[in-house]
Structure 1
């Protein structure tokens, strides 16, 4: 994984008011910590940070103006729940060659046989890898798999230098029988019954009335 260089500034103001002023300048308050050192409070450029953090487990080279450079991984990213912009970032310092544990995404390729349901039980897996060689994800094929087939963590084709940090028998993908429309409707009816929801029965079509003829005098 390539390093993303970001120019940062040392931060001396703290609190909600200071954080709001930083965000108004299109910057992001952040904290660097790890390796037993004191936390380093910094300010990151908003646009560059947003682009860098689009990649999971982005490896960042933080260059603090007038200070040191730090290699870091995002630990926690706080976003505005409505607008989605980054409000704060916690970064953990790492060293070249150091092993770290991170979650990487599981990607599926291919198609299982017809009338099956592919259940991705674990969309990501915890692995251990060198901080400078974290894989973007792991891809596993489900091509031609039939009902009852399963893929466990030990079946994942991890790149060299990357090892599992979860139990090898952890279920990742499960191939089951797809439900019929009747089964789905029955499950929905049961769920509605448990919730106390009554289905409105369709009204029977009204019978056509015989035309009334005028009585002859």
Structure 2
């Protein structure tokens, strides 16, 4: 588990508008907003460089963040990040309040383990194919996992693991599965190597040699004379 400190000190922002936001960014400040839990949204100002460094860590996008506003702590999760189109800078962040005792909806990453030793890879020469990188979950804050682990050790060539095959931590539900069986997405599969598959396709498409008829053979013999 990550040990990164997810505490962000913020100030309430009263100067609003695009011009005010541009001035903030020029001074290495980051505009943000905190909303949710039945309370009024609050516009915030953050230290850009501190938050930008946090954004390099996976847990920043999936774990509860401690926002300290005027000395008061507020638990929140990240809901949206806007970035500069070509500079390595953030331009705006949305946070959603976390209310203890109520379930929250958020995305967490998927971590695949035992890929190199998977049955379909080590014994059958297959290639791992990832179909998703994260999943949307629903759980109470105390059950929020850092990631969902997917063990592919027993996956064989040609097989696919779906959302319904995942082993979930206590108290965690997959949002997609609550929508019905047709939302049981593929998560990971083991396929035949592309070179081998392409060779099989070429063999299947290669035309078979035609056997000349008796008349064609006779005509060829006369031409040869």
Pairs within 5 Å for 1:102-141:
102-110=106-114, 111=116, 112=118, 113=121, 114-141=124-151
Tell me, yes or no, if the aligned pair for 2:143 and 2:170 is still in contact at 8 Å.
no
Once the two structures are TM-superposed, the CA of residue 163 in structure 1 deviates from its matched residue by 1.7
Q: Which secondary structure does the structure 1 equivalent of 2:176 belong to?
A: coil
Pairs within 5 Å for 1:93-108:
93-108=97-112
Query: In 2, distance between residues paired with 1:4 and 1:178?
Result: 42
Q: Which runs of 5+ in 2 are unaligned?
A: 203-225
Change in 2 beyond 3 A, CA 1:25/1:174: same
Aligned residues: 186
Runs of 4 or more, structure 1, over 4 Å off, are none
Query: In 2, distance between residues paired with 1:182 and 1:94?
Result: 49
Alignment of 1:178 onto 2:193: yes
Alignment of 1:40 onto 2:45: no
Once the two structures are TM-superposed, the CA of residue 116 in structure 1 deviates from its matched residue by 1.3
Once the two structures are TM-superposed, the CA of residue 14 in structure 1 deviates from its matched residue by 1.4
Once the two structures are TM-superposed, the CA of residue 17 in structure 1 deviates from its matched residue by 1.6
Query: In 2, distance between residues paired with 1:129 and 1:144?
Result: 28
Write out per-residue CA displacement over residues 102-129 of structure 1, whole angstroms, 9 at most, x where no aligned residue.
Answer: 1111121222324312221222111112
Query: In 2, distance between residues paired with 1:127 and 1:12?
Result: 34
| Alignment partner of 2:70 out of 65, 68, 78 | 65
Change in 2 beyond 3 A, CA 1:133/1:151: same
Query: In 2, distance between residues paired with 1:105 and 1:128?
Result: 14
CA RMSD of the aligned region, Å?
2.6
Q: Which secondary structure does the structure 1 equivalent of 2:21 belong to?
A: helix
Change in 2 beyond 3 A, CA 1:92/1:106: same
Write out per-residue CA displacement over residues 27-76 of structure 1, whole angstroms, 9 at most, x where no aligned residue.
Answer: 1100111123221011011222223333222322212226x432111110
| Alignment partner of 1:81 out of 75, 82, 85 | 85
Alignment of 1:158 onto 2:168: yes
Pairs within 5 Å for 1:183-202:
183=198
| TM-score (normalizing by structure 1) | 0.75
Please identify which structure carries the higher strand content.
Answer: 1
Of 39-48 and 112-121, the range deviating more from structure 2: 112-121
